[in-house]
Every structure is written in structure tokens, then in C-alpha cells.
Amino acid sequence: MNRLLPIFVKLENQPCLVVGGGKIAGQKIKQLLESKADVTVKALEISDDLKSLPITIEKAVYRENDVKGYKLIIAATDDDNVNRQIYEDSQKDGIPVNVVDQPSLCTFYMGSVFQDGDVKVAISTNGKCPSFGKYIRDHISNTSKGMWGKALGKLALQREKIINSILSYSEKQLVMEELVKDSQNKFIQKQVQRGKVFIVGAGPGDPELITVKGLHAIQCADVILHDALVHPHLVFEINTNAEKIFVGKREGKHSVSQDTIQSLLTEEANKGKIVVRLKGGDPFIFGRGAEEVEALKKAGITFEVIAGITAGLGAAAGFGIPLTSRNEAQSTTLITGHQCEKNGRHNWKALADLDSTLVFYMGVKNISKIAATLIKNGKLGSTPLAIVQNGTMVSQAIFVSTLEKVEKALKGESIKTPAVIIIGEVVRHHKRLQKFVESIPSEQVDPVGDFGFDIWKTDVFEA
Ligand SMILES: C[S@@+](CC[C@H](N)C(=O)[O-])C[C@H]1O[C@@H](n2cnc3c(N)ncnc32)[C@H](O)[C@@H]1O
């Protein structure tokens, strides 16, 4: 447990002493100078890069009670006795002291610091592992992308006006909280009195496969309408305040019709809300995203579609299968496996002739028919085939066979869903590469499961 009190100290023009003139001392001196402290460095040897800094240099050894008159002390010498003496002298005079890398001789620590304009974040690891503090600082820096400083600058101006115009503290706080939220929603330009719908692809399973933009939209959402195939981490943990509406389709269980989903999107946006429609994979690949955007257009609601990694791409990548390859596949075709020869509109002859990798979605139930139809239309029976189940999830698995053998090979096997079927010469890469491909899904989570429902059917099941 970290029991340190984080405080930000005003050191402008305050005398501070650094004992030691090496590299480590240099790092601390620079941090003090950023706070505009009046820094004196005491050491017999001073490294060259410190000489050009706006500091006072005293080429001397430390003597007892040299700390007197200073507001803050840093000891960065390699002499344990000197360091201890500095600590004891500082303690005697009640001056905060930090002996570098000796937590027991510190009354304060200097954390890893992230700074962007007036935003300053200091990270403490309780002296346990400063390198981890730096790692967290870099993470913050990647997240802020240089936008927080600017956002704070604008908020500060607005705050000044609000402070002058609103009297009650609680009202000021409420208004400011709203403004802060809006400032972070800047990439989500709110329409006049109306909200906006983000149709976001959540990726195939692994929650880390969402795009940064998709994640940002979730963070800004007031309402999230989510499918069954979306990872719970993305739905429930990124933005705990947003209202969650489950609109997944489950066979034989409670389910929401496509019309209802579209009405919900419109209604929520009309209330001025930021609505995220979170869909598995990519919203425009077998996701009925097209219907949703049509409905939004009809209702006059602004929307943005944020692409996601579709299941076929995620599944293939995870098992080292290149969907196109210079010599084996000039293209990739994504196909619904729900339609078969009798009821579908696929041009099976063209599919069989194409020098293309075929990726079937929602096709596991029809796999024998798919294989037989392709062979009947001229595809070689020896063409390799892979069924990738729970792709990009911890339980991901691959089953490899060929068009002519798959029906027999599957006898007694249980194939988990969701799954895609990849057909083409490129599947052979998996065998060659499998010892070297190491795909690590981000978390130990149970597979989400697609309940065997085919969203291309129009059936609606009510609870
Ligand atoms: C209704 S489609 C939705 C596809 C989604 N929009 C996409 O771009 O991936 C559902 C089908 O996607 C495939 N699928 C979804 N997630 C999968 C996963 N993690 N691994 C393998 N196949 C998956 C399965 O074929 C499943 O039946």
C-alpha cells in the first residue's frame, strides 16, 4: 500500500541544494529547474552538460550543516557517509531530503513526471520500482497524444467566465464537469441539440484488437448498445458510467429485432446523447451496419462508422495464414456460409474458379455442403481448409483438413463457434509456421459464443 501523500510543491525562486555533479544529479537538477527553483550544486567534479545550466556551482565537498538555508535537498553522491550526513542534517533542520536510490534516507520521492502544458502527472511507485513509473508515464503520454495541455488551456478560459457568472459551488462544479466531458468529446462534434451515433467495430474477440478511435468513442459514450459477440471488457469496463443496452441476438432467448435496434439508436441520439453501437468484428462485414446507417440517415442523425478487425482477418492472422499470397492467392473473398447451392445467390462456379482465398462466415453448419458444392463446381478436392474457432480468444483453435476429406474428418469432432472457414492453398502456411506463431490473446476470458444464430436470417425471437 502506498501511503505517500502526493503534493505539488511551489519551488519558484526557492533555494534548493543538489549535492553531487554526475548524471543522476543532472536528472534531478533538470526537474528542479522545470519548477524554476534556484538550484545550487555542490560537488568537486561537475559533468560538462551541467555547466551550461542556470545553476550556481560550488566546487567543494559537503560539510556538516551545509543544508542550512535551503528549502529542499537532493543528495546524489556515491559516498554513503556523505549521503547519511546530508540526510541527518536535513532531518535536524526539518528540510525535505531525497538521497537518490536510498528510500530509507528520503523524506520525499520525485516521481516519473508526465507534462503537457499545465497538465502535470507524477507517478509514485512508493520507491519500489521507478522504471515501472516511467513505463506508466509513457503509457499516459501515448494516451494523451499531446491533446490534454490544449484542452486544459481552453477549459481554464471557460472556467474563469463560469466562476464569475455562477454563484453556487455545486452548480459551478456541475457545469465544469459537463464542460470537461464535452472537451474530451471534441472529436465527437455534438450536433445542435442532437447526439451522434458511432457504429464501432469491436474486433473479433480479443479486446485489445479494437482501434484506438473505437476505444475513444466508447470512453465518450453516454449509451452503449452491444452485441453478444463483443468482449465484456469493452462493454463494461472502459466506460462504467455509460448506460448499457444489450441488443444481441440469441436463438430461442430474448432477442431484439433489427427494427428495435434502429429505433433505439435514433431515440437515444435524439435525446442529444453520444451513442455507441458496438458490434463484433467490423460493422460493415456481415454486421447489418448498412441497415443501421440507412435508418440513421432517414432519421437525420449524424453517424460515424469506426472500422474493426473482421473475424476472418483476426482468425487468419492468429494462426499465421496469409489471406493473400503472391503465388497462391491473388485475392480474398469473404462469404456468408449461410447460403448454400439451393437457397443462395452465390455464384459457386465463379467461387470455385477464382484464384482467391475463400473465407466463410456463419458456415460451420453447412460445411459439408460448402465443400461438396465447391468440388462439384471445379475446385480441387485436395484444396486445404481450416476452421478457426473462437479466433483471437484464449480458447482459439484450428482444425485443418481438405475439401474432400473434411466431412469424414469432422465425424466425432466438436467444432466450437464462432468459427470461420478458410479455404485455399494459403492454409498450408499454417503447418509450416505453426511452431513459430505465438498469438497471445490479451486476457484469460471465456469464449463469448455466438449461440448459433445467423443474423442474416430475419427471424426474431422474443423472450
Ligand atoms: C454475424 S457474423 C458477424 C461478423 C462480424 N461483423 C465480423 O466482421 O467479424 C458472425 C460470424 O462471424 C464469425 N466470427 C465472429 N467472431 C469470430 C471469432 N472470434 N472467431 C471465428 N469466427 C468468428 C463467425 O463465422 C460468426 O458466425
State pLDDT tens for residues 116-164. Answer: 989 999 999 887 888 888 889 888 887 777 788 888 888 888 887 777 7
CA distance 261 to 246: 10
- 191 and 305 assigned to the same domain: yes
Instruction: Tell how far the Cα of 27 is from the centroid of ligand 1, in angstroms.
Output: 51
Q: In degrees rounded to 5, what are phi and psi of residue 169?
A: -65, -45
Q: Is the CB of 116 under 6 A from ligand 1?
A: no
- 249 and 319 assigned to the same domain: no
- Cell triple for residue 287? 454486421
- 358 and 249 assigned to the same domain: no
Is residue 195, in this structure, part of any structural domain at all?
Answer: yes
Is residue 239, in this structure, part of any structural domain at all?
Answer: yes
Query: Residue 322, preceding bond cis, omega within 30 degrees?
Result: no
Q: Is the CB of 204 under 6 A from ligand 1?
A: yes
Give the pLDDT score at 240: 82
CA distance 267 to 337: 34
- 298 and 408 assigned to the same domain: no
**Rounded to two decimals, what is the model's pTM?**
0.71
Is residue 130, in this structure, part of any structural domain at all?
Answer: no
Is residue 378, in this structure, part of any structural domain at all?
Answer: yes
Is 227 a known active-site residue?
yes
- 401 and 413 assigned to the same domain: yes
Q: Is the CB of 317 under 6 A from ligand 1?
A: no
Give the pLDDT score at 298: 95
Is residue 417, in this structure, part of any structural domain at all?
Answer: yes
Which range of residues forms the domain containing residue 410? 313-433
Is 78 a known active-site residue?
no
Give the rounded distance of the alpha carbon of 171 from its chain centre.
34
- 397 and 351 assigned to the same domain: yes
Catalytic annotation, pick one of 227, 273, 279, 282:
227
Counting from 1 in the atom list of ligand 1, the atom nearest the Cα of 448 is 19
Instruction: Tell how far the Cα of 319 is from the centroid of ligand 1, in angstroms.
Output: 16
Exposure string of 272-308, with b = 16+ CB inside 10 Å and e = fewer, is ebbbbbbbbbbbbbbbbbeebbebbeebebebebbbb
pLDDT tens figures, 219-246: 889 999 998 888 888 888 888 888 999 8
Give the pLDDT score at 437: 84
